[in-house]
Structure 1
C-alpha cells in the first residue's frame, strides 16, 4: 500500500513547503533530519478523522488511501485527528510545523534525560529519542490503548523509549530528574510536578491554555520556572484540567453572544476612537487581551462601515463595538460587567507597555501562583494566569 500511495512524494511536498516558508529551525537541523528518518505516516493509525462541515467522518487507509495520506500530509499547519471521544477530538498527530517549532524551543542535546507528557501516536517521542539517545526518553500517556499502540510503533522503529500509562499532569514520579520536559497537550496551569521533576536549569516546553506555547527554565533553587512565549501553537487540552477542556471545543456553543444578549438589555451606550479591527490581530492586541481578559470571547466582522466586534464573558455580560464610517466605533454593553470599558482599560495598558507582541510575553510559575508578564519578568506588567475557566477565544 505504501508503494501505491507513493508516500515519499507526500513527504517531499510537505518538506518543500516547510523549506519555502522558512519553517525548518535553523538552530536545530536535527529536527528536519529526524522527521525525514521517522516520517509521520509511520506513526499514524490506519483510521484518521476529517471534519466534513457537520461532523467528524472516518478516513480509513484501507478504504481511501489517497484521502488518508492527504489528511496526514495536508499542510504543515494541520494536525491529523487520530481519536474521538464523545464526538470530539481527544488525540491527534500534531501539525508538523508546530512539532518542529516546539522541538527547536526545547534546545535538546544528545544525552539529555527527557520527559514527554502525552505520547499519543508516539511520533514526537520517536523524534526526541532519535536526538537524545536510547533509553533517554520517558513518555506518559493517559489512554492505555494509545500507550500500547505507541510503544509498539516505537519498538518497531528500533527506538528505546519508556512508555508509561498514567496522568501526565503528575509527570513520572520516581524517575530521575529530567533535563527537558515537553508536553503535547495544553495546560492552563503548569503542573508543579513538572517543575519538581526537572533539574535546575532544565527546560520545560508546553502549550499554555489557548494562548500558544511557552518555554520555561527552572531556577537554580528549583523554586520557580519562568520563560518566554514561543509561538501561537494550539494542542489538545489536558484531560484533567476540565475548565480548559470544556471551553476548548464548546466555547462557541456554550454562552453564545446571542444567548447572553437576549438575557441582558443594553445598560450603557457610548463611543470610542478605537478601531475594532485591531482586535483581530492574534500577534498584537488580540494576544494582549487574551492575557489581560482571558475569560472574554471576541468575534470581529467587516462590512462597508469597517470592522465591528462582539464581546461576551461567556456568562452574563456583553458588548458591541459597531464601526462608524468616520472612524472609531459606537459602543453598547449590557450585563453586570461593562466589557467595553474593561476593554478600553486593557487596550490603554497595552499601549502604555509599548504595544508588546506575542514574543514579548512570558510566564512564571511558583509553588503558589502563576502569572503572565510582558517585556520583563521582574519589572514588566503582570497578570494572574491559570485560574479556573481562563480560556479565551479571539476570532474573526
Structure 2
C-alpha cells in the first residue's frame, strides 16, 4: 500500500513539474495545479457523469503522459550533468507544450478506438475436466452430505435453500462466469442487456460472478433500474447464481451502500468467506482482501470454510488471483475463478500486468490448483480497451480422468 502511494505521489509530482513548464512563471504553475485539481475533483464526484468522464480521461492520460515524461525527465537530468547548465527556457517551454499536446492527442486516439472496443465482449468457451469419481452413482451413505446446502462460514440467511432430494444426481454441468462489471455513470447499459440475452440462450446451470459490481453506491443502482436488470440476469441460471465481493465492494461499503446485501436482493447466493453446496457442485467464495481491510478483519483460513462434502466438485471463487494461502494443507479445490486484473485493460497496462501477477489472464495453475482469470466484462474508470478484450466465460464441467 505504501509503495503504491509513493509511486502515485511521485507520478503526480512528475506531472506537475512537466505541465508547469508549458507556460512561464505563475501561469505554468496554475495550469499544472489545475490539472491536479481536476484529477482529484473527478475522483471526489465519481458518482456523477462529469466526474466519471474526468476520471476516465485523466486515468488514460496519466499513463501515456508518464510514459513520455519519465524518459524526458531522465534526458533533462543527463543533459544538465553533461552540459552543467539548465536547458534554455524557451526551448523547454516549446518541448513541454509539444509533449503535452502529443499525450492529449494520443489519449484521444485511445478513446476513439478503445471505447467502441470495450462495448463488446468475447464469449469464451472452455471444457473443464473433473475427476470421474464425482460422476459415479451416489452410494448409500452420500445422501446426508448431498443435501447439505449450507457449509461452515455461512450466515443463516445467506442462502435460499434448494429443494431437498434424496441424493444429488451426478452429472455434467455448465456455468457462465463473468467478473468486474463496474457499473458507473459511463457504463453501457446495452452491454448488460446483451449479457442477459446471451445467458438466456446458454441456459447455464450456474451463473458465477467474480466481484467488483459497481463504482457507485447501491441506491444509485436502484435509481438507475439496475436492480430489475440484475434480477432478470440471475433468473437465467437453472440452479443458482453465485457471487463474491471484490476490492471495489470494499470501497463502496459505507452508510447507505451495502453491495453484498444488494447482490442477495437481486438473486445472487452471496458467499463471503463461506461455502455452499447447491446441486451437483460445491462453491467457496472468499472475502476480498480489501473488503477484509475495510472491515478491519482477517480473512478466514480456507481450512475452516472449505465444504465438508467431498462427493461433489469444489469450485473456489476469489476476486484477486493470489493463489492458495501458503499455510493451507488440506484438499485442494478442483477449479478456481478470479477477475480483478482486467488483463491490463489498455496500453501499457496490458504489458505491465504480466509482471504483477503470476497469472494475469486465462487458464493456468496457481499453487497446484487449475485457475481461470477473467479479463472482466467491463472496465474500471475509463471504458477503454486497447490490446485486451472484455470477456464472459462459458464453462462446461465434464467427467475426465483420475
- Tell whether the structures are fold-level matches, with TM greater than 0.5: no
The structure richer in strand per residue is 1
Give the TM-score normalised by structure 1.
0.31
> Greater RCO between the two (CA within 8 Å, min separation 6)?
2
Compare CA radii of gyration and give the structure with the larger one: 2
The structure richer in helix per residue is 2
Give the TM-score normalised by structure 2.
0.31
